[in-house]
């Protein structure tokens, strides 16, 4: 059974710092790995999707990597801003289903 873990659960950084969020999964037989952002009281917004055959994806200040052999994905945020404050969730895609981690709550201090 796939289990997805995100560490740390919460993170507070000063504005301008580069930071890394971690996502681990136990079953490497995944189709893709997706990162989401969730603002308080809101739904999920897709940030990046990495296909199982890819190593990384980039969008603006965000870079996500995938290492299936070690069961890890990282989300790198460059030059963090207060507007990046949110909860970040990763989800692994198996046949038909996504399994979600519990998220990392990020606060970027001005």
Residues that bind other proteins (CB under 8 A): 4, 6, 31-32, 34, 36, 41-46, 49, 51, 89, 91, 93, 95-103
**20 - beta bridge partners?**
76
Between residues 7 and 79, which has the closer beta carbon with respect to other proteins?
Answer: 7
CA angle in degrees (0–180, nearest 5) for 3-7-89: 65
Residue 78, both tokens: 């460059």
State the residue for tokens 């710092």.
17
State in angstroms the smallest separation of the CB of 18 from other proteins: 25
Residue 66 beta carbon to other proteins: minimum distance, rounded to whole angstroms:
12
């Amino acid at each position: 059974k796939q289990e997805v873990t995100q560490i740390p659960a919460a993170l507070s950084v000063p504005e301008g710092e580069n930071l890394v969020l971690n996502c681990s999964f136990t079953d490497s037989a995944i189709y893709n790995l997706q990162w989401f952002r969730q603002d308080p009281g809101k739904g999920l917004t897709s940030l990046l999707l990495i296909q199982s055959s890819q190593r990384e994806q980039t969008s603006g200040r965000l870079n996500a990597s995938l290492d299936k052999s070690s069961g890890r994905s990282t989300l790198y945020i460059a030059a963090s801003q207060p507007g990046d404050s949110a909860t970040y969730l990763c989800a692994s895609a198996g046949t038909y289903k996504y399994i979600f981690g519990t998220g990392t709550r990020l606060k970027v201090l001005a």
